[in-house]
Amino acid sequence: MRWSQTFIPTMKEVPSDAEVPSHQLMLRAGLIRQLMAGAYTFMPLGYRVVRKVSQIVREEMDRAGGVELFMPALQPMELFERTGRKEAFGNVLFNVEAKRGDRNLQFALGPTHEEVITDLISREIKSYKQLPVTLYQIQTKFRNEERPRFGVLRTSEFLMKDAYSFGASMEQLNEAYDAMYNAYCRIFERCGLEYIPVEAESGPIGGDASHEFMAPADNGEDFVVRCSGCDYAANQERADTGRSSSIPARVEDAADPQKVDTPNAGTIEDVSKMLSADPSTFIKTLIYSVSKNSADASNGEHQPPKVGYSVSSDSSDAGSDENNPPKAVAVLVRGDHEVNEGKVRRMLGAASLELADEATIERVTGAPTGFAGPVGIQCDYVADHDVALITSAITGANEKDAHLTGVIPGTHFELTETHDLRNAVADDPCPRCDGTLETVHGIEVGHVFKLGTKYSESLDARFLDREEKKHPIIMGCYGIGVSRVVAAIVETCHDDGGIIWPKSVAPYTVELIPLNIKDEETMTTANRIYDELSAGGIDVLMDDRDHRPGFKFKDADLIGLPIRVIIGGKGLKEGNSEIKLRTDSEATKVPIGETCEYVRRLVSAD
Ligand code: ATP
Ligand code: MG
C-alpha cells in the first residue's frame, strides 16, 4: 500500500482528552477516531490490526476444536426475561423498541450471546450423541457501560470473540474448558501480549471454575494478586490472603476502653488525623443487610457468570422475602483494609448483601453512620483474621461523635473465630506457599468460565442420555475482547516515539521510505523493492508522501511498523539501503541488490 493512496491521518499533538498511552497513540497514529463517547471507528490502519488479531483468534479456536458461526446482534428481549438477565443487566442492556404493524416489539442489542446460542441448541440438540460441541463467533457486542473510557479499552460497542461449549458431563465440560484455556495462552502469546491467567469468581460450579486473562499494565483497571514464589495468581475479588485464625487470649485485668470525642469525624481518615493514630490500629465496622432466602445460598456461591456479565451483590433474585427479612450483620476489618463482599457473602452463605441503610445503622449502633464499633453493638458481627492481631484498637463508640481507644479484641468484645473477609494486599502471605503476595494492575483481555446449567435450565436445552433420561446440557462460556486486545497491545508495546507492533499483528510489516520522491533514481529503486516484497507476500507500506525525511521518520516511529527500509540520499549513491528494526536505534546498510532478501530474513526470523 502506498501512503498517498490510503487514509492514515496521523497527529503530532497529544489529544487532550486521551488519558492513557494506548488511547493517545491510537488516535495519533490514525488507528481510531471517536464517533461519540464509547463508540469508535477503526480506521484503515487500525482495522488491519483488528483483522490480524481476529485471524489469530480464529486459527486457535479452530485448532482447539471450536466451530465458527455468526449470530444476530439484535435479539428478542423475551429471551433475557426468561433467564432473568433483563433485570440483572439493568441499564447495561440496550433496550430497543420497534413498531411492526400495530405491535410494539422489544429487542435487546446483544451484550453477549448465552441466550441466543442456548435457545438455538435447545432446538437442535436432543441426544448425548450430538455432544460435546463448542461454537464460537467474532461479533460486535453492545453494553451501555456506565463509564466508557480509555479509547477502545472500554466502549459501549466492541468486538468480542465469544465461544460456548455444550457437554453431557462434567468431563466434557472440563475438556472443553482446558482446550479453551490453552488456546487463550497461545492466542495472547502469538499476539505478543504479556498475560497472566488468574483465578476469578467460580460461580455456580464452585472450585477452580473461572479464569481471567490479564495483561499487566500500569493503567489497567483490574487488580491482580500474585505470588512471587509460586504461580498463584487471582483477581482481587477472588484472592485469598493466606492469613489464618489466631484468637487472642482474654486479658484479665485490662483497663476499660477510653471514650474520646471525635466531633464530626466519621471516617477513619478524619479520626486518624484527629487522634494522630495509624489507620492500621483501627477496627473498621461496616454494617450490612444480609438476605439468606435464595436456594443459591446453600452452595455458598452466588456470582453470576462474568462473560455473561456480572451483576452487583444485590442481584434481582436475591431480595428479601417475607419469611426471611434481611438481617443486619457487622463486618470488622482492620482500618487500612477493604471488606471483600464476595468473601463475606460466601462465609455467611448469603444470597445477597448490601450496605445497611441509615435507619438500620441507627437501630444497631444508636448513632449515625461513622461511629459503629464492636463493643456493645446490637447485631451479629463477623471479623477478619487481622482484627484479632490488633492489640489495642480504636473503634467507633456506637455513639454520635465518639470513638473508643484501647479496645482489646477478645477482651472488650467477644471474638471466638475469625475469617478471611478482606481484599488481599501486597505483602500478605501466599495461600499456597511460603512466598509473599504482590499486586499488579492489569487489563482483562479474556475470560473462561464454567457456567454449568444456568442457561440450559432456564431455556430448556436438554439432552437424552443412553438410558433416555433427560438432563440439562452443561455449558461453558469463553470471551476475548478483540478490540480491547488491540488497545492492550499498544498500551504495553510502545516507547516515547510511538507504537512498537509485534510482527504478528502489525498493520504492515515493512515501512519503505523513499527520502525524496522527486528523485527519479530513488523512486525507481523504491518501486522495484516495493513490488518485489509485495509479490513475495510481505505487507509493505510505502511512504510516498512529499515530506521531509525527518517528518516521515517521526510518523514511522509513531505508527510503529516492525521493519523500516530507507532508500535515497547518500546511501543510495553508495549503492545501499538502510534497514532498521523499530526496536533498534541504529540502521544497517545493506546493498540495494540484497535488500529484499535481507528483509525476507528479518520477516521470517523469530
Ligand atoms: P470488565 O470487567 O472489564 O467490564 P467483563 O467482566 O464485563 O469485563 P466479560 O463479560 O467477561 O467482561 O467479556 C469478555 C471480554 O470482553 C472481557 O474479558 C474483555 O476483554 C471484553 N470486554 C468486556 N467489556 C468490554 C468493553 N466495554 N469494551 C471492550 N471490551 C470489553
Ligand atoms: Mg463489564
Q: Quick check: CB of 155 below 6 Å from ligand 1?
A: yes
Cell of 101: 404493524
Residue with cell 495472547: 188
Question: Does the CB atom of residue 309 touch ligand 1 within 6 A?
Answer: yes
pLDDT for residue 219: 94
H helices of 341-443, in order, are 341-348, 358-365
For residues 307 and 447, the answer to whether their CB atoms sit within 8 Å is yes
pLDDT digits (tens, 9 = 90+) for 454-502: 999 999 999 999 999 999 999 999 999 999 999 999 999 999 999 999 9
Distance, in Å, from the CA atom of 56 to the CA atom of 480, rounded to the nearest integer, reads: 12
What residue's CA is closest to ligand 1, atom 8?
444
Q: Mapping DSSP to helix (H, G, I), strand (E, B) and coil, where does residue 125 land? A: coil
Identify the residue whose C-alpha is closest to ligand 1 atom 7.
Answer: 309
Q: Which atom of ligand 1 is nearest to the CA of 445?
A: 20
Ligand 1: nearest atom to the Cα of 485? 20
Q: Which residue has the least CA distance to atom 31 on ligand 1?
A: 481
Question: Does residue 566's CB lie within 6 angstroms of at least one atom of ligand 1?
Answer: no
Categorise residue 436: left if φ over 0, alpha if ψ from -120 to 50, beta otherwise: beta
Q: Quick check: bond before 305 cis, omega within 30? A: no
Alpha helices in 64-84 (DSSP H): 77-83
3-class secondary-structure state, position 89: helix
216-250 b/e (C-beta count within 10 Å ≥ 16 → b): bbebbebbbbbbeeeebbbbbbbbbbbbeeeebee
Contacts of 440 (CB under 8 A, 6+ apart): 196, 216, 223, 224, 226
- pLDDT value at position 205? 63
CA-closest candidate to residue 342, choices 296, 292, 300, 398: 300
**DSSP state letters, 416-430:** S--B--B---TTPBP
Enter the pTM of the model. Answer: 0.89
Distance 309 CA to ligand 2 centre (A): 6
Distance from residue 267's CA to the centre of ligand 1 (Å): 34
CB atoms near residue 268 (< 10 Å): 19
Q: What are the residue ranges in the chain where pLDDT is below 70?
A: 203-208, 293-323
CA nearest neighbour of 397 among 282, 477, 553, 539: 282
**Tens digits of residue pLDDT in 245-301:** 888 889 999 999 999 999 999 899 999 999 999 999 999 999 999 998 544 433 434
* Segment 384-428, tens digit of pLDDT: 999 999 999 999 999 999 999 999 999 999 999 999 999 999 999
In order of 15, 25, 166, 585, the CA distances from 557 in angstroms are 18, 11, 46, 11
Q: Is there an atom of ligand 1 within 6 Å of 307 CB?
A: yes
Does any ligand 1 atom lie closer than 6 A to the CB of residue 564? Answer: no
Which residue of 444, 486, 491 sits with most ligand 1 atoms within 8 Å of its CB, as the best mutation to test the pocket?
444
Beta pairing class for 327-334 and 380-383? parallel
169/310 Cα distance (integer angstroms): 25
State whether residue 226 is helix, strand or coil: strand
- DSSP label at residue 42: E
Ligand nearest to the CA of 184: 1
Asked whether 145 lines ligand 1 (CB < 6 A), one says: yes
Number of residues that this document lists for the chain:
606
